[in-house]
Amino acid sequence: MTTMTKSREELDLMERARRVLPAGGFGNFATDIIIAEGRAGRVRDISGNEYVDFLLGSGPMFIGHAHPEVTEAVLAQVPRGTTFFANNEAGIRLAEVICDAVPCADQVRFVSSGSEADMYAMRLARAHRGRDKILKFEGGYHGMSDHALMSLAPKRLANFPRPVPDSAGIPKHVQDDVLVAPFNDIETARRMIAEYADDLGGVIVEPFQRLIPPRPGFLEALREETARHGIPLIFDEVVTGFRFAFGGAQEHYGVTPDLCTMGKIIGGGFPLAAIAGSKEIMAHFDRDAVGDEGFTFQVGTLSGNPVAAVAGLATLEVLARPGAYEAVYDTGRAIMTALKEQFARVGVPAQVVGQPTLFDVVFTDTPVEDYRGVLRGDAARLKRFNTVLRERGVLKPDSKFYISLAHDATDVQQTIEAITEAADVLASET
């Protein structure tokens, strides 16, 4: 068992953070760890403890921390300027790579965060359709805008299609413009789209919702029904873009939306995200093409930032090489197999949910196919599992493993050993 200790320096920094940061943190990961550096598939905290890293900055570091080719590209760009608020060559080249790779992408508009990308994608769909309502799926995460923060993680389960706000401060009228459906329920989705077709500006979905794969035919049904009624279908690929395949989840599942959003990987660890879609819909970002009435206003100080763009280009160049995705999938399969085998060995009910680049264990004996299935899992046991892993030098988010190209055989072996020990611990505490 690895012993993780806290240095006086890290404890002091945690205390300083509590004085100047609400809840002592940035609003992201747990505040009881302060990361000092990351290299390849590992990170080290201020106290000098090293961890196999499955947090990966919440996913962007898909080819690993401080990748030498990304670092080289960034160091070459910084002396030439860090932002211009104008077109730059790197941003144009990155847009070309995205348009070549992603099935739905005729054109791209850059922003700085996934939240922005999802917000603008919904606005763009409403502008194109001339309708106000958005249909989303319970448990789906689409950023931090008012419309997105509806039924992401409701503590009170409402009857569909009524949404439940996830945050204080959201105007009550927003609820009237969001409809919520159960993920993976084909018949309900078809019925709701048809019933509200005259009011819908768009349908937004994570093609792979948090951890949950789509049932066979689910995405196809959404594509068919939205196309039937002329409603824009938006795939939120902030997480899955360039993670499931070079063309994202839409390539992986063979279903092409009208619009998609991307983030995380395309910025190579820097703030960059994008909306991409058909030329017809993306034209709403061009006043000359659609006139004042159809124009969707969008501007951002750091949109298309050249440092982020060169980092993204370098990252995608690595991923385009033969064998890259096969390697990541092999790593993920090895860890998923260990999770299944070890919890079966000790008799702890567990479902390993996801796919090899993104997955976790849900402590339940019933299949997990939607948000309510995740809720049935034992959250306290998952929290304990994560704690035991961290004590053994494996760092992961609260509810997923992000796998990277940089995770090597040593990382996998340490992780499997930690999972084996964690299974024994959880079984002994049952």
Q: Is residue 134 part of a domain?
A: yes
Range of the domain at 56: 8-66+324-428
Identify which of 328, 429, 335, 331 has the alpha carbon closest to the alpha carbon of residue 388.
429
Quick one: 114 and 18 in the same domain?
Answer: no
Counting the structural domains of the chain, the total is 2
| Domain C-terminal end among 258, 289, 319 | 319
| pTM of the complete model | 0.96
Quick one: 329 and 415 in the same domain?
Answer: yes
- Residues 289-329: tens digit of each pLDDT: 999 999 999 999 999 999 999 999 999 999 999 999 999 99
Quick one: 291 and 377 in the same domain?
Answer: no
Quick one: 105 and 35 in the same domain?
Answer: no
- Residues 363-386: tens digit of each pLDDT: 999 999 999 999 999 999 999 999
Q: What one-character-per-residue DSSP string does 15-38 give?
A: HHHHHHSGGGS-SSS-SS--EEEE
pLDDT band at 3 (very low <50, low <70, confident <90, very high): low
Quick one: 57 and 74 in the same domain?
Answer: no
Query: Is the pLDDT assigned to residue 390 strictly greater than 80?
Result: yes
Q: Is residue 178 part of a domain?
A: yes
User: Which residues belong to the active site?
Assistant: 141, 236, 264
| Domain C-terminal end among 287, 319, 351 | 319
Quick one: 248 and 153 in the same domain?
Answer: yes
Q: Is residue 290 part of a domain?
A: yes
Q: Is residue 2 part of a domain?
A: no
Q: What one-character-per-residue DSSP string does 252-296 give?
A: HHT---SEEEE-GGGGTTSS-EEEEE-HHHHGGG-HHHHHHHH--
Write the CB contacts of 217 (distance below 8 Å, at least 6 apart in sequence): 186
Report helix, strand and coil shares of the chain as percent, to nearest 5.
45, 15, 40
Q: What CATH code is carried by the domain that includes residue 37?
A: 3.90.1150.10
| Domain C-terminal end among 251, 286, 319 | 319
